[in-house]
Amino acid sequence: MTPSAKATRAAVKGHITRIAQAIKGYESLTMSTRISTILIEQEKKVERKVQYLKSLSLKIQDDMGTLQATQQEYDTEYDTICQTEEKVSAARIIVAIKQQEWIEEKEKKQKEAAREKLFLDVLQQQQIQNTAAIQQLMATTPAHAAQSTRLPQNQIKPFKGDFLEWTPFWVSFNGAIHSSSLPAVQKFDYLKEYLN
């Protein structure tokens, strides 16, 4: 068993432990693009270190076989690898959970944005429809107003001051002009026109 392989393995195991602890530190944080990127990089880094650790472990086991190591040495080597694998598995689970949280958060934001866009589109459509209805109403309103102000010619006989003609004149004037929806000024102008 070469001391350099064991020393290298101890250093790599220390790196893996630090990376796993760093990943565990992100467990309670709210996900963001930056944290997602960091976790992905840390996961790749720990995977490379685990592969290197496994190759070192195989080399150490070969050396142990050559040097006829005891069962206790094999068990210690196996326990070391198992402990490291447990740390890495816990780190992988944290990364998977955090990435799932991140995906769900992004989907939620996309749905909210789509809902807002749909709401704004509907609101804009209603505004366009309301504007069109108002414009149509405004276009037809002057036509009705113009029609209501037109009076037939010679419908009312002018009043010449004869007291006996006042009642028939007033009945005609009241029915045709006074009870209409004309402005008061226009009604007054008509009254002056029919009084001689």
The predicted-structure confidence for 21-51, as pLDDT tens digits, reads as follows: 999 998 888 888 899 999 999 999 999 999 9
> d(Cα 90, Cα 16) in Å, to the nearest integer?
12
Highest mean pLDDT among 17-21, 27-31, 133-137: 17-21
Band (141; pLDDT cuts 50, 70, 90): low
Per-residue pLDDT, 93: 93
Mean pLDDT of 151-155: 57
Per-residue pLDDT, 24: 92
Cα–Cα nearest to 13, from 75, 110, 81: 81
3-class DSSP state for residue 27? Answer: coil
| Residue 22, amino acid | A
- Predicted confidence (pLDDT) at residue 125 exceeds the cutoff of 80: yes
Q: CB of 95 within 8 A of CB of 36?
A: no
pTM value? Answer: 0.55
Q: Which residue has the higher pLDDT, 80 or 148?
A: 80
Q: CB of 7 within 8 A of CB of 74?
A: no
> d(Cα 32, Cα 101) in Å, to the nearest integer?
10
Record the tokens describing residue 76, joined without a space. 């210690």
- Predicted confidence (pLDDT) at residue 123 exceeds the cutoff of 70: yes
Per-residue pLDDT, 178: 83
- Predicted confidence (pLDDT) at residue 153 exceeds the cutoff of 70: no
The predicted-structure confidence for 46-97, as pLDDT tens digits, reads as follows: 999 999 988 888 888 888 877 787 888 888 888 888 999 999 999 999 999 9
Across-strand partners of 195? 159
Query: Tokens 């198992």 map to which residue?
Result: 82
Per-residue pLDDT, 181: 85
Per-residue pLDDT, 121: 92
Q: Where are the domains of the chain?
A: 3-128, 151-194
